[in-house]
């Protein structure tokens, strides 16, 4: 997924019970490990990290907080 980069906000696309994570949890890319691999940190509302793991791009969905294009 070419649009993922350092500090991208992402959502997890599948449950990962071994890491205590479920589909839809939000994290931040904190390191680019390779073309399709990223270290993602998951933090609570207070900023405390509760999980950090290497994930493949197919397990992530980049979230957007602004429109990509102006509405017509």
- 40 CB burial (10 A radius; 0-12, 13-18, 19+): buried
> Does residue 1 surpass a pLDDT of 50?
no
Question: Would you place residue 71 in the very low, low, confident or very high pLDDT band (cuts 50, 70, 90)?
Answer: low
- Cα-Cα-Cα-Cα dihedral of 52, 21, 13, 42, to 10°? -30
Looking at residue 21, what is its pLDDT? 97
46 token code pair: 């207070």
Q: Is the pLDDT of residue 19 over 80?
A: yes
The domain made up of 9-62 is a member of CATH 2.70.98: no
> What mean pLDDT is predicted for residues 1-11?
87
Residues 25-62 have pLDDT tens digits of 999 999 999 999 999 999 999 999 999 999 999 999 99
């Amino acid at each position: 997924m070419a649009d993922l980069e350092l500090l991208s906000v992402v959502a997890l696309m599948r449950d990962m019970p071994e890491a205590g994570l479920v589909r839809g949890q939000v994290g931040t890319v904190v390191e680019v490990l390779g073309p399709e691999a990223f270290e993602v940190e998951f933090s609570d509302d207070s900023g405390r990290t509760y999980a950090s793991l290497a994930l493949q791009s197919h397990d992530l969905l980049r979230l957007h907080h602004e429109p990509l294009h102006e509405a017509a």
